Structure 1
Amino acid sequence: MSKGKILEFYKFEGALNDFVIIDGRSNKLEYPLEVARMLLDRHASIGGDSLLYLEESNVADIKMRVLEKDGSESQMCGNGARCVGLYFDKFFGKRSIKIETLSGLKEVKKVADGRFVVSMGPVQKLGNFVIGFKEDYQTTLDLFSLKLYIVNSSEPHAVIPMMNINKIPKAKGVKIAKNFKLFPYGINVDFIEIVNKNTIKIRTIERGVYEETLACGTGAVASAYVLHEFFGGNNVISVKALGGDLTVIIKESENLLEGDARFVFKGEIEL
């Protein structure tokens, strides 16, 4: 990547979870992780929660890499996948696409103008994300006087039920997210308030960002799954995030995430 390269980018948001999208098929980056760190800075550059870098795929329509502002790469992004679905709908006329991610193939379908559903697949093994629970699909832990329900909904999440979503211990949440001795790659932390068997409120601290974001798609799926599995929740669950509402449908073979996606603007930036 030569100095002074002019880079074309797109800005999208889903439930105010905002993303910079760069299509690497036409704007190839030599050092995408370094570029992500620069571009996601809200004060000195474009700003965003994550950079979605698109590459050619041999098994899907596109490969989506989720690059974070700390220079790391995440497995998957549910809200981001819907934004990529909108990108392909708006600029290539495709209402349905398959996306290759680090957590497997995901399918995104347009269900209405500006609204998409993502087939997230079933919950996955915790693997290397949680020390000592490699083969488990879920576990519970007590940390900092909080009860954690841990699942991998394409991303590792620690779901913490609270009585009042307006009074979350945010500092403890960041400490949990950064507890690298227990979670070697960090972990997403979701505080939830259970309204009823159909509805939860949620606030999320995302790994890689290590601060609160206005919504998190994989967090919505993980939290809805916890409500369903541990608290007798129904199969269709409304998840109310600070940035908007998402719908999660729990099935035996897969979990579906539905919500809005919005194109914000297109631009160019000199690197």
Structure 2
Amino acid sequence: MHMFHMNGCGNRFVVFDGRARPWRKTAEEIRQIAHPNGKQAFDQIIGMESTPNGDVFMRIWNADGSQVSACGNATRCVGWLVQRETGQEEILIETEAGLLTARAAGDDMITVDMGEPRLDWEEIPLAEKMDTRFVDIKIGPMDNPVLSRPSCVNMGNPHAVFFVGDVNAYDIPAVGPLAEWHPLFPEGVNVGFAQVVDRQTIRLRVWERGAGLTLACGTGACAAAVAAARLGRTERKVKMILDGGELHIEWRESDNHVLMTGPVELEGELQIAS
């Protein structure tokens, strides 16, 4: 079995190619892979599997061992791997969140069509009905909250995006978990801290559900772009500046799909016993 160490804009993965033989691990085994020396080395663990519905099925685990439905940066990495192997121009990737397409966009650059954002309160999901543009929660003291009124978007997984004046002014490891498991989010939530630089640029940091503060979050970048455009803060095509690099997001008006373009890096590959 092949194992690949990869990153997408700094978001680090181990990808196991289980297409010849299914690769399944327990939550504890996933945690051990993600934390090889007791410290977190990888944000997500990815399993590639055969599928009749596309070129590859992608299974995703967070570093804490929980399984999730979507990971934008990992989708670009898997798309790049299958493209390198097959030479195909377009790769169809099946995930628990649906079918996604990946295309080459230059040297080690991949564009993924992430599909349509889900914006209804039941689709996030929220515990109660409310306008997802301004969700009524406060993090911190009620009379002087640290964060409040995020916009929520589901991009295959749930995101709450807080628009802030300066992303570096927040102790994200301290406040991120308070929003991640707020009672309003029955499945937990990825927490974005978005600073609008101008109408074409957003500075973003993300506390990922089950993974913590990462250098980049692809679905988080898509969610922040959708939330910002929906509120009239930016255009529908923006550059996202993350700790690990840049992603380019377009929320296309013609079909409501979100396109994400960014870099892929292969750090190493090994043949291992399955």
TM norm structure 1: 0.89
Two-structure CA RMSD over aligned residues (Å): 2.2
Alignment correspondent of 2:19: 25
* Pair 1:139–1:59, CA change in 2 (3 A): farther
Q: Which residue of 2 aligns with 1:41?
A: 35
Q: Structure 2 counterpart of 1:130, which letter?
A: L
Which structure 2 residue ranges, 5 or more long, are not aligned? 140-144
Alignment partner, residue 2 of structure 2: 8
**Matched residue type, 1:58:** P
1:249 and 1:25 map into 2 onto residues whose CA distance is 32
The corresponding residue for 2:137 is 142
Runs of 4+ with deviation above 6 angstroms: none
Which residue of the other structure, out of 197, 200, 208, is the alignment partner of 1:198? 200
For 1:43 and 1:87, locate their aligned partners in 2 and report how far apart those are by CA, in whole Å.
27
Normalized per residue, the structure richer in strand is 1
Paired residues of 1:9 and 1:22 also in contact (CA < 8 A): yes
Shift of 1:236: 1.1
How far has the Cα of 1:270 moved from its partner? Answer: 6.8
Alpha carbons 1:139, 1:151 under 8 Å: kept = no
Q: Please say if residues 51 and 66 of structure 1, whose CA atoms lie closer than 8 Å, have aligned partners that are also in contact.
A: yes
Give % identity: 29
Kindly state the Cα deviation for residue 268 of structure 1 after the two structures are TM-superposed. Answer: 4.7
* Residue matched to 2:216: 215
Per-residue Cα deviation, 1:151-187 (whole angstroms, up to 9, x for no partner) = 11222101001111111241121211123x3222211
Q: Per the alignment, in what secondary structure is the counterpart of residue 38 of structure 1? A: helix
Do the aligned residues in 2 keep the contact of 1:86 with 1:262 (CA within 8 Å)?
no
- Return the alpha-carbon distance in structure 2 between the equivalents of residues 8 and 56 of structure 1: 14
1:46-125 → structure 2 map (5 Å cutoff): 47-124=41-118, 125=120
Specify whether residues 38 and 8 from structure 1 end up closer, same or farther in structure 2 by C-alpha distance, changes over 3 A only. Answer: farther
**Cross-structure match for 2:175:** 172
* Residues matched between the structures, number: 262
Contact 2:23–2:47 (Cα < 8 Å) also in 1: no
Q: Structure 1 residues 110 and 266, CA, compared in 2 at 3 Å: closer, same or farther?
A: same
Gaps of 5+ in 1: 1-6
